[in-house]
Amino acid sequence: MNKQDKQEAVTYIECSDQVWTGIIMKFQKPYNMNISNLKIHKGSFRATGQDNMGEFNLIGEEIMGKIKFKQTYTLNNSTLSDHPLLFEGEINNLKSEIKGRWNYKDEIQEMSDEFLLVLEDDQK
């Protein structure tokens, strides 16, 4: 197996029928996220979801277990669309958890804190 085959074998995930939940910390307070249609394939990371601000898309990349993506809301709210949250993290070996840090920056402020995305247990 060559290096490219190993990378693809390790990073392929398609969880369109499974639910991921997330927690994003902001000002030492947790905020919930519901993630659906999460896919990681050939270096591409994509998902959709919803939180207390509305529906959003997650689009980014995955390289050898390290993941970078942007969260952009599907609303017509230009403030949310113009300044997406940027996430950087790692996926665990079981492909059931992604954790790392997020960052937000606009003309007025810059914020950063931790996030965690977890694949829900199918046995519930």
pLDDT tens, residue by residue, 92-119: 988 899 999 999 988 888 999 999 999 9
Beta strands in 27-96 (DSSP E): 29-41, 44-51, 54-63, 66-73, 85-91
- Which CATH code for domain 3-119? 2.40.128.30
pLDDT at 1: 39
> pLDDT tens for residues 18-55?
789 999 998 889 999 999 888 888 899 999 999 988 88
* Distance set, CA 92 to CA 74, 80, 109 (Å): 29, 30, 32
pTM of the model as a whole: 0.79
